[in-house]
Structure 1
Amino acid sequence: MSILSCFLVSWVFFVLGNLVNHVEGSAFFVFGDSLVDNGNNNFLATSARAEAPPYGIDYPSHRPTGRFSNGLNIPDIISERMGWEATMPYLSPQLNGQKLLVGANFASAGVGVLNDTGFQFVNIIRIYQQLNYFEEYQRKVSALIGEEETERLVNEALVLITLGGNDFVNNYYLVPYSARSRQFSLQNYVPFVISEYKKVLQRLHKLGARRVLVTGTGPLGCVPAELALHSRNGECAQELQRAASLYNPQLVQMLKKLNNDIGDDVFIAANTNQMHLDFINNPRQFGFTSSKRACCGQGPYNGIGLCTPLSNLCANRNLYVFWDPFHPSERANRLIVEQIFTGSNTYMDPMNLSTIVAMDSRV
């Protein structure tokens, strides 16, 4: 055998060995909105982007990355805790080859369960397009490692999906007498959104997802943006709080029914509403000095407009629950992820992520 042939054979075994090592690890897939988007919208012509400072001020590069955070977001911290490489935005040209085997982030700021949610942002990746991209992703991976290994990679992956908040903030309550609020009372709108979300999750399961963390909405009326519009003394906006109080329990019930129909605990409900309320109701217990005022913004509670280079900026982001008018700080995200990993049934139903990892390690 020639030296060139020996080199080629060695190279093939090296590449295949690395691929197998990646496949044997767990991939991570992320779907949803700005709470989990890590840069997809930077590749789109949309106003829903976090591409300018001071976004990313506490990220390792200290530069904006497209994350709606001062630093890491929830998917980043989950990956960090699991010892995984962070997923890349699906639209990134750098997501190719072996990097695909780590997983992908399909999330897009501004989207909701419903296709008309976030219409004002124009060019965003609506949830069914995110699922279409997931199918496309699987075809790309199949070309690398074959269909059987791709199916195994997807089946054994962890999936995170975060949707729902925008269907209220950027749809039903976006403007007075919105189209959806004229079509539905709130009591009828919530089950409508839940029924549409069920279709999304059923398709996700059909595409191979078997371990899916589903976060609820946060306390929608307590974010600085809503306080700036509706609050006189720091009290949460009651109508948006009512929406969250109707939506989150119905989401949990829908997930339980889906699991029952499937015959397995595929969908895990994360009670991010209660996690946030803990910070808001007793910030000092968690080391925060402010649970109402955003670190970055302007106007009352720093809740008006966007976080920009001209905004007010707090000196210590670790003391703030909210980074900008809508999104948690990295430190708040870290506390949320801690509950995802170790929280009781109050926070994680029917089990937390540490239990899932322990169960899967025994299989």
Structure 2
Amino acid sequence: MANSSVLVMVLIALLGTLAPLTEARAFFVFGDSLVDSGNNNYLVTSARADSPPYGIDYPTHRATGRFSNGLNIPDIISQKIKSESTLPYLSPQLTGKKLLVGANFASAGIGILNDTGVQFLNIIRIYTQLEYFQQYQQRLTALVGAQKARGIVNQALVLITLGGNDFVNNYYLVPNSARSRQFALPNYVRYLISEYQKILMRLYKLGARRVLVTGTGPMGCVPAERAMRSRNGECAAELQQASALFNPQLVQMLQGLNKKFHADVFIAANTHEMHMDFITDPQAFGTLPSIYVTIY
């Protein structure tokens, strides 16, 4: 996974170059812990962020279910588009006019594949998130009517963050994992990309027309992975290789989808390269070198 504060900076910079996106009236979020704003609080799962030290820098100084010390990526994007933060879809507060803001469907621990994150037990896998998106649209239609609901969805900004867990919490979770026995790494990456394409096509069919898609960050540089996989604190080579294979193929796949739909629906956010720039030359970004706390 990538460092949350760096991802926020990257996505804000990207939003700044895409002025039409900032006019979206609603914001929808799909993915894993990098963007989960509390859905897992309502689930019986070990993938939780509802106790300290999570939330110590949040405005309330309390853990909210965000896998962050404070605001997370969707919160900062909501501020950028001058909107209130989207509520978790499972929150009982998501009713009435709150539906007009959008919804966060993300769930920590999930991946592109359904067998990713099985150790976390009850999590909202990506196709269930898309089913919830359908349910949301039905609720929105009941509130504002079919035509207006369709317009809100079509004009909304969508963020989706997937892929990291398919390596960290699947392929490389244990030595000789089932997926690593089934696929050599290059073949596994191609399989992930083909499955991700199906997810994005489904998202398009459900009405998404402005979608930010983040690649994986420098997974091998995550402190936990460095502690487990390296001897001298260097970034883990196998996970870095996985990122190097996955991200270019993701961009190529998104370009193919945009060509298919004759529109720039999907925008790739190259969080890996930007994150590495930040790590290797923090002074260029006005920041002193430091130890980065990484969330999963």
* Fold shared by both chains (TM-score > 0.5): yes
CA distance in 2, matches of 1:81, 1:155: 19
Q: In structure 2, what is the equivalent of residue 193 of structure 1?
A: 192
CA contact (8 A) 2:26 2:101 kept: yes
In our comparison, the structure showing a higher alpha carbon Rg is 1
Identical pairs, percent: 70
> d(CA) in 2 for partners of 1:48 and 1:275?
27
Instruction: Tell me the SS of whatever aligns to 1:199.
Output: helix
Deviation sequence 1:149-196 (CA, Å, 0-9, x none): 100000000000000000000000000000000000001000000000
The corresponding residue for 1:52 is: 51
Number of the residue aligned with 1:289 = 289
Which deviations, in whole Å up to 9, do the C-alpha atoms of 1:204-225 show, x marking residues without a partner? 0000000000000000100001
The alpha-carbon distance between structure 1 residues 148 and 175, as it changes in their structure 2 partners (threshold 3 A), is same
- Is 1:118 paired with 2:137? no
Q: Report matched runs for 1:5-24 at 5 Å.
A: none
2:221–2:235 CA contact under 8 A, matched in 1:
yes
Paired residues for 1:202-241 under 5 Å:
202-241=201-240
Write out aligned runs for 1:30-109 (5 A).
30-109=29-108
Partner of 1:159 in structure 2? Answer: 158
Displacement after TM superposition at 1:235 (Å):
1.1
- Measure the CA separation in 1 of the matches of 2:114 and 2:273: 27
- Give the AA of the match of 2:95: N
Secondary structure of the residue that 1:280 maps to in structure 2? helix
What displacement does 1:281 show? 1.5
Structure 1 residue ranges, 4+ long, deviating more than 6 angstroms after superposition = none
Distance 1:65 1:275 in 2: 28
Taking structure 1 as the reference length, what is the TM-score of the superposition? Answer: 0.74
1:140 equivalent in structure 2: 139
Give me the whole-angstrom Cα distance separating, in 1, the residues matched to 2:153 and 2:178: 38
Q: Return the alpha-carbon distance in structure 1 between the equivalents of residues 288 and 37 of structure 2.
A: 25
Confirm or deny: 8 A CA contact 2:24 2:157 kept in the other structure.
no
The 5 A counterparts of 1:241-320 are: 241-286=240-285, 287-290=287-290, 293=291
Q: Could you list the per-position Cα deviations for residues 25-71 of structure 1 after superposition, in whole angstroms to 9, with x for gaps in the alignment?
A: 61000000000000000000000000111111111101001001110
The secondary structure found in structure 1 opposite 2:267 is strand
Letter of the 1:289 counterpart = P
For 2:35, the aligned partner's letter is: V
Deviation per CA, 1:98-155: give whole Å up to 9, x if none.
1011000000000000000000001000000000000000000100011111000000
Structure 1, unmatched stretches of 5+, are 1-23, 294-320, 328-363
- Greater RCO between the two (CA within 8 Å, min separation 6)? 2
- Give 1:284 deviation, angstroms: 4.1
User: CA-atom RMSD, angstroms?
Assistant: 1.2
Q: Which residue of 2 aligns with 1:340?
A: none
Q: Counterpart amino acid of 2:159?
A: L
One-letter code of the match for 2:122? N
What CA distance in whole angstroms lies between the structure 1 residues aligned with 2:199 and 2:24?
Answer: 26
Give aligned pairs, total: 273
Q: Say whether the 8 Å CA contact 2:55–2:69 is kept in structure 1.
A: yes
Letter in 1 for 2:272: N
Unmatched runs of 5 consecutive residues or more in structure 2: 1-22
Once residues 24 and 106 of structure 2 are traced to their aligned partners in structure 1, the CA distance between those partners, rounded to angstroms, is: 22
Q: Secondary structure at the match of 2:217?
A: coil
Measured in 2, the distance between the counterparts of 1:102 and 1:122 equals 30
3-state SS, counterpart of residue 130 of structure 1 = helix
CA contact (8 A) 2:58 2:71 kept: yes
CA contact under 8 A between 2:40 and 2:48: conserved in structure 1?
A: yes
